Amino acid sequence: MARRKLLLLLKPFDVYQVTQSNAVSRFTNPQIFHYIDNRRKVHKEAINVCQKILQQKPIDWKPIFRNNLSQPIHNVDLVVTVGGDGTLLQASHFLDDSVPVLGVNSDPTQAEEVLDGFLEDQIVPSKLSRISVSVNSKVLPTCALNDILIAHPCPATVSRFSFKIRGDDETCSPLVNCRSSGLRISTAAGSTAAMHSAGGFPMPILSRDLQYMVREPISQGPAISRLMHGLIKSDQSMDASWFSKEGFVYFDGSHVFHTIQNGDTIEISSKAPVLQVVLPHLST
């Protein structure tokens, strides 16, 4: 049997580079610096622990910092991310549905147990839905694991757009015309993040549905208000039209985005390649 290949994807240390000699230190509580320095030490120790574990396993592996990712990840059996949700999200943008990922936060406790479970085929990766976005009928290359936000680049500017929900059988919901601060759509995995904070509801992690919410809508009456928050079922898609001069589609935060302009049409659905994630609590 061929040896398994693994990629160890690391959050860089420079995110913790804050020192007492910085100019801002005169105006900042010293406890902040102690906290950041402690997080750096914890992260460094987590990397050391993971590397020691991997050195004892019958696998071929190599480390890479997430900032050095530039090409899709192929030809490995597993990606292990060390650094938290942000590192796993960044990895997801370089993965299709063929390579599973295991997220290890910066203070790992179950890393070796979960890794052994995967290598011994006792833990089967779970398939998490992602969001597919098309602009003017062209599929964008990035799939969102948590959520997308469609909004004007200036948060204080009103976004103008319309949307409807369309089924695979071409049945459609009423057209909703909106003036608001934008439109957020989340996966089940992302429903416990910004969506939940905004008043949405957590979804079962393996659900293929998407949840949408119009952000801070300018109310147009009860009949329309009830359509400002709901679900896009797995056999449905959302068709949106953008009517502001400019806008962005943000993927999983602010770092990855696609520009849109007045008149663009946007299609959103869960018909994207799934992401295989090793979840220890869903073992076989």
pLDDT of residue 272 exceeding 80, the answer is yes
CATH class assigned to 4-123: alpha beta
**Predicted pLDDT of residue 268:** 98
What is the share, in percent, of the chain residues with pLDDT greater than 90?
A: 67
pTM of the entire predicted model: 0.88
How does pLDDT run across 57-109, given as a tens digit for each residue? 999 999 999 999 999 999 999 999 998 888 999 999 999 999 999 998 766 66
pLDDT of residue 32 exceeding 80, the answer is no
How does pLDDT run across 225-270, given as a tens digit for each residue? 789 999 999 999 999 999 999 999 999 999 999 999 999 999 999 9
**Predicted pLDDT of residue 114:** 84
More confident residue, 123 or 199: 199
271 band by pLDDT with thresholds 50, 70 and 90: very high
Contact partners, residue 30, CB within 8 Å, separation at least 6:
20
Q: Where are the domains of the chain?
A: 4-123, 132-269
CA dist 40 and 30 (Å) reads: 16
Distances (CA, A) of 171 to 102, 174, 231, 280: 39, 10, 15, 39
CA angle 226, 230, 236 (to 5 degrees): 125
Q: In what order do the strands lie in the sheet with 236-242?
A: 138-139, 132-135, 265-269, 236-242, 159-167, 176-180
**Predicted pLDDT of residue 284:** 40
CA dist 34 and 259 (Å) reads: 39
**Once rounded to an integer, what is the mean pLDDT over residues 184-191?**
97
Q: Which of 12-26, 107-121, 193-207 has the lowest mean pLDDT?
A: 12-26
| Annotation: CATH topology of 132-269 | Tumour Suppressor Smad4 (2.60.200)
More confident residue, 242 or 122: 242
**Once rounded to an integer, what is the mean pLDDT over residues 176-193?**
96
pLDDT of residue 145 exceeding 80, the answer is yes
**Predicted pLDDT of residue 27:** 52
CA dist 9 and 90 (Å) reads: 10
14 band by pLDDT with thresholds 50, 70 and 90: low
